[in-house]
Structure formats: C-alpha cells, structure tokens
Amino acid sequence: MEQKILIVDDEPHIRMLIEQTLEELEDDGVEFLTAENGEIALQIIQKEKPQLVFLDVMMPKMNGMEVCRKVKKELQLTDVFIVLLTAKGQELDRQKGNEVGADIYMTKPFDPEAILSKAKQVLGLQ
C-alpha cells in the first residue's frame, strides 16, 4: 500500500519546511499531502487515510485539537498516527493533546532531525 504523510499548517513556510525535512522519504515512495486548515485536513484524512499526520494546533476554521478529536474519537481512525505541533511556551497543551487522543506532541520551532526520525519510525522505514 502506498504510504502517505499529511502536513497541516496554516503557514505555507512551515508546510514547505516539513516537506523539505521529509524529502528523502520520497525515494521510499512516500507521498506528501498538505492542507492549510483543519477542515481541508479532515476531508483529506477521510479520503486518503494517511498513515501519519503532522497537525498544527493553532489554525483558523478548525484547530488542530478539534481535528484530532474528530479523527480519533468520532471517526475512530485510530490507525492514523497524529503528531500535534505546538509553539514553544504553550506546553500546557500537552494535557489537552492527550485528552483528544494525539499520539505524540512536538514543539515549534521543531528539530528537523526529530521530525524525520519520528516519520521513519511511524512508517517503518528505519
């Protein structure tokens, strides 16, 4: 089955940066999908069923927490591994992240190496 990673952030440069960070996974046939807000993200998740989602918390329309809750709790898509991205200094979100069912939680500015190794681990590409 083709592996897919969805990158959700309202800031274009963050989307580009994450994609760039994960670029080498393209050689393993991984497909990248992007979304600029929570609503689009939710549609893509339902349609494409990505294995891994990098999900920004602070977004217009539907925030990352809500997307995560819908995916994990309402749609019961427990196979989708969700990494919540939150700004440094907002670590209190961790508690809430656990409540909405996020698998892990990373802070921005993110460590590119940490993001890459996490993606490899989740997709079983190590």
Partner 1 sequence: MARVTLKNILSKKSNVSPLVLSFIEQMNAHISVEDENGILLCGNTDILAANKHPININDETIGWVKGDEKSIHVAYLLTLLAQREFERKTLGSEVLVLYQEVNMVFDFSDKLAQAIGPVAISQLAVDEAMRLIHSDSGLVVLWDEASMQLQIPATAGAPLFDQEKITSHADLLLRIGLSGQSEIMSDLSSLRDEGIIGPDVHSLIYSALKVKHRIMGAIILAGNKQMQYAASDLKFLTTLALQSSSAIESALLHEKNLKEAREREEAMRRVYEITAKFVPYEFIGSLGHNIITDVKLGDQVEKVVTVLFTDIRDYTSISEQMTPEENFRFVNAYNERMGPIIRKYDGFINQYLGDAIMALFPESAESTLSAAIEMQQNIHEFNISRKVKQLPPIKMGIGMHTGPLIMGITGDKDRLDATTISDAVNTASRIESLTKYYKVRILLSEITLQQIQHPEIFHLRYLGKVQVKGKQSSIGIHECFSSDSEDQIIKKEKTLPAFNEGMYHYLNKSFQNAVKAFEAITAINPADLTTQFFLDNSRHFLKNGTPDNWSGVVEMANK
Considering only 12, 20, 60, 98, the residue that binds partner 1 (CB under 8 A) is 20
Residues contacting 40, CB < 8 A, separation 6+: none
Residue 99 or 111 having the CB closest to partner 1? 111
Residue 53 or 115 having the CB closest to partner 1? 115
10 is a site residue for partner 1 (CB under 8 A) = no
Considering only 26, 48, 91, 99, the residue that binds partner 1 (CB under 8 A) is 26
Amino acid at 77: L
Contact set for partner 1, span 58-117 (CB under 8 A): 88, 109-112
Tokens linked to 53: 């989602």
31 is a site residue for partner 1 (CB under 8 A) = yes
Q: How far is the CB of 23 from partner 1 (least distance, A)?
A: 5
Detail the DSSP E strand segments found in the chain: 4-8, 31-35, 52-56, 81-87, 104-108
Query: Rounded to whole angstroms, how far apart are CA atoms 28 and 41?
Result: 24
Bond from prior residue into 50 cis (ω within 30 degrees of 0)? no
Strands 31-35 and 52-56: unpaired
Q: How far is the CB of 126 from partner 1 (least distance, A)?
A: 18
Kindly list the residues in this chain that would bind partner 1 in the complex (CB under 8 A). Answer: 13, 16-17, 19-21, 23-24, 26-27, 31, 88, 109-112
